[in-house]
Structures are given as C-alpha cells and as structure tokens.
Chains A and B, each alone.
Chain A
Amino acid sequence: MILETRGIGKTFGSVLALRDVSMGVAAGQVVCVLGDNGAGKSTLIKILAGVHQHDAGALLVDGAEVRFSSPRDALDRGIATVYQDLAMIPLMSVWRNFFLGSEPTKGLAFDVAKARRVAREELRAMGIDIRDVDQPVGTLSGGERQSVAIARAVHFGARVLILDEPTSALGVKQAGVVLRYIARARDRGLGVVFITHNPHHAYPVGDRFLLLNRGTSMGEYAKADITPQALTALMAGGAELEELAHELKRQ
C-alpha cells in the first residue's frame, strides 16, 4: 500500500464528518470511493490531500504514519489531487496551468520555453489532443481540462492520484475520455483514488470499491465480490430506493 488510512475520523465542531474509515491504495490500482452527497467523500479526500488533518485514526504513506501539514506536503510525498471544479485557472494558458506552483526555472527566470515544450510533450504522451498549449484553459472542454490536470500530476511524479468527481459534470462521451486517462495513469503504475457518486463510471475502471454513507464506511469490496447492480443498490441505500419506489407508486 502506498497510501492507507486506518480507522480515520474527522469532526468539525460538533459535526462528525468522518468516522472510522479504513482504506488503502497500491501502485497500479484504482480504488473508487462511492457515496451520496454528504457521505463524507470530500472530507476523506481532503484529509488524503493534506487540506484537512484527521483527528482520529492513522494516515500512512508507505506503511509509515504521517500527518500532512499542507497540500504541498502531501504533494511532496507523491500524493496529487485533482479537484472537480478548481483544477485549472480558465484565463491562463495550458502551459502556465500545467506548471503552476512547480515552475521550472533558469537562473531567476521562469523557463517559459521549457514549460511550453514539456507541457506539449507530456500531453502527447498521455494521448491528449490539445491543439495549442498557448490557448487559455477556459477554451478547453471539461474533459480536456481534467485530462490536462491528470497529465500534470503524472508529470510531477505523483505516485497516488486523487480525483475528486472528475466525471460528474461531464457528458457520457467526455466522461469516457477521462476514464480512459484514469486507466492510462493506472497502467503507468500510479495508484488512483477515484471519488464519484456514479457507480456506472466507477465499476468499469475500479479494482476496489469503498462505500461511504453518512460519514462512515459501509464496506470495501474487490471487483470480484460485487456486481454493478449490487454496487448501485448499496450506494443509493437499497432499502431507501425500494421505499421511494413504493411511495411513488400510483395509487
């Protein structure tokens, strides 16, 4: 396991946001974290990403217990996070975004020529078809933006990639594009933590599935142990769905 949590928990004031969640991700593995709104997905990834600090349980990197002081700290240990909505800065060019926060330098200067060249090469290596690295990221489609963010994390030596709902705002085709890059990152030996509330996106690419509900774990399943139907049912809270169906039935 590169990244692992053991009985991890977090409270905000009197709100128990996350309680006793254990999970782990190994190299070349995709772990999907599934849950409805308010299930604790965001809290969990923010702990993994170094945005929040856990106040119960343990967080381990390569088997050693750690406590991230900042997102930068997590990044330095090879844990990179791509957020759903704030992955990119729309008015900045692709290459400026690509190297934001980790700019290559030449003496005192930002090595602009190198940034352009490397961004172009890395995107091509991931099979991403960007017309022009000088174009503002705002002119890219949602799927392309996520893909650029993934390529960026891979380039900066991420060992674990945490993806926060990368497909939720996308159409079917665009989501497929992003799922393909997730698979490609996995094939390059990265561990991927893929957060989503869509089991149809999770199932094809995932190796293991962690289900969250109301801040706590409802179990972790290997792909062989669960069907897509069972996953969907568990995620939505199967009993609740049946109840709803009953309630909505024509009298």
Chain B
Amino acid sequence: MTVAADERVAHVGLARRLLIRPELGAVVGMVVVFAFFAAQSPVFRSPDGIANWLDPAATLGIMAVAVALLMIGGEFDLSAGVLTGTSGLILVTLATRFGFNVWLAMLVGLVVALAVGLANGLVVTRTKLPSFIVTLGTFLMLQGVNLGVTKAITGTVQVSGLRRASGFEGANTILAGTIQVGGTSFRVAILWWVLVTAVATWVLMRSKAGNWIFAVGGNEQAARAVGVPAARTKIALFMTTAFAAWLVGSILALRYTSVQANIGIGQEFIYIIAAVIGGCLLTGGYGSAIGAAIGAVIFGMADKGIVFLGWDADWFTFFLGGMLLLATLANRLVRRYAEEVRH
C-alpha cells in the first residue's frame, strides 16, 4: 500500500509541482515577449537596449514585488502609487525649501510613508472594510495633500533643485546612480530591485512570516484559529508596501532632482497588473515575488520595445491589457488544478 502510494508521488507530484508554480505563466510570457521584440530590433537585444528596458522594470518591479506580497496576504493598496509621489515630494521639499540634509529628508519621508502604511493596515484590520475602499480613500487624500501642500509652498505644481542640497551626491550615487558592466551603464535601481525580490522571495518561501502571509490571504479565519497573528501580518504587509513606495519615490526624486505633485497617480494599477501577470490571485493566498518581478520585466520590455520598433506608443496599453487577460486566464486554470478535490 505504502509502496504503491510512493509510486504515485513520483508521477503525479513532479508534473503537478512544475505546473502549479505561480510564476510559470510569467516566465513563458517573458520568453515570448523577449523573442518577439529581440527578433525585430537589434537594439532591443543589445546590452544598451537591455539596460534601457531593465530600468523601468526595476522601479516598477520594486513596487510590484511589495504589492504582490500584500496581494498574497489578501489585500490591495491603491495608495501605493501616490505614496511614491508623497515620499519624493517630502524629500525634495524638505531638502530644497527647509535646508534639510538629503539623508535626513529621506528619513522623514520614510517615517511618513510607514505611518501611511500603518494607518492603512490599522483601518483595514480593525474595521474589516475591504482594503480596496480604504486605500482608495487614502489614495484620494494623499493626491489632495500632494497637490495642495506643493502649491501652498512653491506656488507651482512641482518642486525642484534637489541637486544643490547637501548630501545629494552620496544619496544619488547609492539610489539613483549607474554602474558599468562591460561598457554598458546600468541603473543602480536594478540592483535594489534584485535585492528586494530576493529578500521578498526568501521571506515568502523560507520564513514563518511567509507561511503566515499565504495563510491570511488564503483563509484568514483558519489562520487565526491556529494562532497566526493575522492583523499584525497584514499591517506589516501594508508597511512593506509603503516602504517600497518610499524607496521608489526617493530613487525617482534623486534621479530627476524634481518631483511633480501629480506623480504616481495611476501607477497603483500597473503594480497590481504586474503582480497578477506574475501569478498572484486577486483573491489572495497564492502568488510569487519572482513572478511579480518577471511581470515588471514584461512591462519594461513592452514599454521600451514598442518604441524601439518605432510603433505608436499608444498601442502599449492595448498590449498590457492583452497580457493581463491572458495571465488571468492562465492563473485560473492553475488554481482550478490546484484546488480540484480528489474524490
């Protein structure tokens, strides 16, 4: 009996294990998209081209990975995009108008971002309201604050001049600089993205917290019943997303040395799209950080690839929508397969 059971493992187990990897669809998508653009554009497949499309993938990817963790935990954060703007605005405003050192201004930005994440998490876990609505509220409020405060201080809708602030050079090198690899300069943000993805993957797959994240997203009540601190896990996830928003906001502010008051609006959906293409279920409990990072790569390749081919950039969103639908369909099949009950 036992021997027979073990033989079934060898056959069913391996195939199933490969098939139900959440990032499988994204990997296939990435290969197809790369082959498509690389076949038609020599620039796209050159080191310079790769550096070019890895850049948008990196800043999006940092956010997508954090948002993926949150989605696996069963929640959304629509305020994440605007929060990148808020973090950047705080950095540039404090450094240029109030004489803060860049590092200190970044620290203040971090504290504010984490406070927003904490507030999101507390409201969602205490009230049990859908995070979609709660963070939509935060999103609109932050959007108003970003515009209102920026206008009140500068009289315009942007703050600029970060280059002259003290501590700019160091912060710029670490967060927004470039590194040379074989004569091609890559944005240092790519390294941050790889680091964030690696840490997130480790947490998800190899830590207690990772087990809790899957559990609170899969079935919060069941998780609570076996002693998982569900509220704390969710609050930590909202704060992780806020941390990522601060990191990306700071990277972009240091790179461009100025920030528009309306930056980040609409990005929240791009993060969710990348996470879903990477295999996250909208209903939570399933997904992968690497998948979300790959979703961001697909986004970056399509974003720049369309330009390299000389196509009208308007077609980009059409492409993005198609990818999203395909990914969602693939995910549904996977989930059915994983959840099918054996009778």
B342 at the interface (CB under 8 A from A): yes
Task: Report chain B residues within 8 Å CB of A140.
Answer: 341-342
Decide if A141 touches B342 in the complex (CB within 8 Å).
yes
Identify which of A90, A101, A109, A136 contacts B20 (C-beta below 8 A): A136
Q: Find out whether the CB atom of B218 lies under 8 angstroms from the CB atom of A131.
A: no
Interface residues of chain B: helix, strand, loop or mixed (majority)? helix
Residue interface mask A132-154, B partner, CB < 8 A = 1:
10111011111000000000000
Instruction: Write the A62-77 contact mask toward B (1 if CB under 8 angstroms, else 0).
Output: 0000000001100100
Q: Could you say which of A49, A86, A91, A105 contacts B338, with CB atoms under 8 Å apart?
A: A91
Interface digits, B222-252 against A, CB 8 Å rule (1 contact, 0 not)? 1111111000000000000000000000000
Question: Considering only CB atoms and an 8 Å cut-off, how many residues of chain B contact the other chain?
Answer: 38
A56 within 8 A of B: no
Which residue of the partner chain, among A51, A101, A108, contacts B226 with CB atoms under 8 Å? A101
| Interchain CB contact under 8 A, A83 and B13 | no
Among the stretches A21-29, A92-100, A195-203, A216-224, the one at the interface with B is A92-100
Nearest-neighbour CB distance to chain B for A140, whole angstroms, equals: 7
Q: Does A88 contact B (CB under 8 A)?
A: yes
A99-B211 contact, Cβ under 8 Å, with A89-B222, A91-B218, A129-B5? yes
How many A residues, CB 8 Å from partner?
A: 37
What's the Cα separation between A83 and B227 when bound, in Å?
13
Stretch at the interface among B90-98, B170-178, B202-210: B202-210
- Tell me the nearest residue of chain A to B224, going by C-beta: A71
Query: Is A205 at the interface (CB under 8 A from chain B)?
Result: no
Nearest A residue to B339 by beta-carbon distance? A138
Contact between A89 and B16 (Cβ–Cβ < 8 Å)?
no
By the criterion CB–CB under 8 Å, are A139 and B224 in contact?
no
Partner of B228 from A88, A100, A138 at Cβ < 8 Å: A100
**A-contacting residues of B (Cβ < 8 Å)?**
1-2, 5, 8-9, 12-13, 16-17, 20, 205-208, 210-212, 214-215, 218-219, 221-228, 285-286, 335, 338-343
Residue contact A139 to B341, C-beta cutoff 8 Å: yes
Residues of B within 8 A of A135 (CB): 13, 16
Asked if A89 meets B338 with Cβ closer than 8 Å, knowing A109-B207, A110-B208, A135-B16, the reply is no
CB neighbours (8 Å) of B5 from chain A are: 129, 131
Q: Min CB distance, B152 to chain A, in Å?
A: 46
Q: Is A112 an interface residue (CB 8 A)?
A: yes
Q: Which residues of B contact A14 (CB under 8 A)?
A: none
Whether A91 and B335, one on each chain, are in contact in the complex, defined by CB atoms closer than 8 angstroms, is yes
**In the complex, are the beta carbons of B214 and A141 less than 8 A apart?**
no
- The reply on A87 being an interface residue by CB < 8 A is yes
Tell me whether A227 is interfacial, beta carbon within 8 Å: no
Question: Is residue A102 within 8 Å, beta carbon to beta carbon, of the partner chain?
Answer: yes
Give 12 pairs: A residue, B residue, CB < 8 Å, sorted on A: A49-B225, A81-B225, A83-B222, A88-B222, A89-B285, A100-B211, A100-B226, A103-B211, A110-B211, A131-B13, A132-B8, A139-B340
Contacts of B228 in A (CB 8 A): 100-101
The answer, among A99, A112, A129, for a CB contact under 8 Å with B206, is: A112
B227 & A71 in contact (Cβ 8 Å cutoff) = yes
Q: Are B339 and A91 neighbours in the complex by a CB distance under 8 Å? A: yes
Point out which of A134, A138, A140, A142 has the most chain B C-beta atoms below 10 A from its C-beta.
A138
A124 contacts which chain B residues (CB < 8 A)? 2
**A160 shortest CB reach to chain B, Å:** 16
Residues from chain B with a CB closer than 8 A to the CB of A134 are 13, 17
Residues of A within 8 A of B227 (CB): 71-72, 75, 101-102
Q: Which residue of B lies closest to A142 (CB)?
A: B341
> Which of B20, B208, B224, B225 makes the CB contact (< 8 A) with A103?
B208
